[in-house]
Amino acid sequence: MLNKILEHKTEELPSLERFKMLGSKVVNEMRQPVLASFNIRNLKYFNEIYGTEKGDWLISLMVDYFCRENKKSILGSMSYADHLLVLCEAGNDSHDEIMGFYQDIMDHFLERVNEHYDRAKIHVECGLYVMQPGDSFIYAQDNARYARRSIRHSYSNTIAFYSEELRQKSVKKASIIPNFEHAMDSDGIQVFLQPKFSVKSNEIIGAEALSRFCDEDGVIISPAVYVPILEQAGIVSRLDYQVLEKSVALLAKWKADGYELFPVSVNLSRIDLVEDQFIESLDALVEKSGVDKCFIEFELTETVLAKDLDQIIAKLSALREKGYRIALDDFGSGYNSLYVLGQLPANVIKFDRGFVLHSIQNQMGMTILKNLVNTFKEIEFEVLCEGVETEEEKQKIVSCGCEIIQGFLYDKPLEVDEFERKYIYA
């Protein structure tokens, strides 16, 4: 049976269903069967530059290198247009030897492609799973895919072996949207507030509203985990609007109770700014609340400005003209800040913690930071340094001219009740 299966390497690859059927007949005869999942990351871009005919050639070449000419392969199948599954027999090879074997094939494949079609800079990612007795091919395919997707955003790591840790992370990621939907339906989106302090007066002068919700076990999920997933799914606007709604309600309550207000900032995504209805809805919400728009600040990062720049700047300009405050967050974490600042209608520049920490390590960095702060203040930006955690960091930052600080040195993000107890109703 194994010899008959090998003949398929020289024919048209079987369908995915036939691949699973044929593979299940021989997998128990194999010494250390490995299921490999391959994907060309930027095939769409390659097709746009060189045409679909060359794209088809690229797929065919991938099949040749990783399946037909691969001495360890038994059988292969295209699971999608650019996803190749290959059943291999690894024998007595160690994990390192298996990875080295496929790295060599990938290097030769990429060398051939990029030598003639270098504008697209093709990259291949590979996930590997060592099949165990009793494994179904669906289970093995899922595990190989988990491994491959774990390196989706890495260009330094192109091959990964499956581990149970990867599977748990993938399952956890898959639960984000259901947990988010449940939180939205059950009023489970919480707002935490982190204060911003004036160094001169040592008083609170603002706060940033940060979202939180819990998983099925009641454990708070980090925004670093769920925000990218919600953005990718195109539903982050629902979260942003909920945070804005809760923040405006707090400001309205504090105003009704007779307390002096300060700006509360909320984060906006690119999706928010390219949707006319979202901007109209948030403006109507604030108008109805009776809260002055100068107490609402919208924070955005450089990634928001990566596409549709003219459209986004027009939307931000309209918000600024209505009286809202605009802040550029994470300044120094990317490459477009200075270019964008010439066009961005912002009030506030927030220096990224990583950039600040790197700058205050030596005199040259301190000089650069000081001059940047002074330049921004000269053109009437408020300058804030975020993520300040120690008194030493604070002193160095203050010596560079920054007078507004946000970070654990002053306080962490707080639940609303605790924030109000410390800073509103104290």
Query: For the segment 275-297, what is each residue's pLDDT rounded down to a tens digit?
Result: 878 889 999 999 999 999 999 99
> Where in the chain is CATH 3.20.20.450?
175-423
Q: In angstroms, rounded to a whole number, what is the distance separating the alpha carbons of residues 239 and 223?
A: 11
pLDDT value at 169 more than 90: no
Supply 9's token pair. Answer: 């390497």
Which residues 6+ apart lie within 8 Å of 26 measured at CB?
1, 2, 5, 74, 75
pLDDT value at 12 more than 80: no
* Inter-residue contact 229 to 176 (CB < 8 Å): yes
> According to DSSP H, which parts of 176-327 are helical?
176-185, 223-233, 236-256, 270-274, 276-289, 309-322
* Inter-residue contact 424 to 254 (CB < 8 Å): yes
Backbone angles phi, psi at 202, to 5 degrees: 55, 35
Annotation: CATH topology of 175-423: TIM Barrel (3.20.20)
Q: Which neighbouring-strand residues pair with 414? A: 193
> Where in the chain is CATH 3.30.70.270?
2-172
* Inter-residue contact 400 to 420 (CB < 8 Å): no
User: By C-alpha distance, which of 219, 234, 293 is closest to 269?
Assistant: 234
Query: For the segment 348-375, what is each residue's pLDDT rounded down to a tens digit?
Result: 999 999 889 999 999 999 999 999 999 9
Of the candidate ranges 4-13, 245-254, 336-345, the one whose mean pLDDT is the lowest: 4-13
Backbone angles phi, psi at 361, to 5 degrees: -75, -25
* Inter-residue contact 206 to 419 (CB < 8 Å): no
The H or E element that residue 105 is part of is helix 95-116
Provide the mean pLDDT of the chain: 88
Residue 46 confidence (pLDDT): 87
Q: In angstroms, rounded to a whole number, what is the distance separating the alpha carbons of residues 107 and 105?
A: 5
* Inter-residue contact 73 to 66 (CB < 8 Å): yes
Mean pLDDT of 23-40: 91
Q: How many Cα atoms within 13 Å fall on the side-chain side of residue 354?
A: 6
Residue 331 confidence (pLDDT): 84
Which residues 6+ apart lie within 8 Å of 387 measured at CB?
352, 353, 354, 356, 357, 406, 407, 408
CATH code of domain 2-172: 3.30.70.270
Exposure string (b/e) for 76-91, b if CB count within 10 Å is 16 or more? Answer: bbbbeebbbbbbbbbe
User: By C-alpha distance, which of 147, 177, 150 is closest to 162?
Assistant: 147
* Inter-residue contact 291 to 251 (CB < 8 Å): yes
> Which residue, chain included where needed, has tokens 């840790």?
165
Pairing mode of beta strands 73-80, 325-331 = unpaired
Query: For the segment 375-418, what is each residue's pLDDT rounded down to a tens digit?
Result: 999 988 999 999 999 999 999 999 999 999 999 999 999 999 99
User: By C-alpha distance, which of 169, 163, 150, 162 is closest to 221?
Assistant: 169
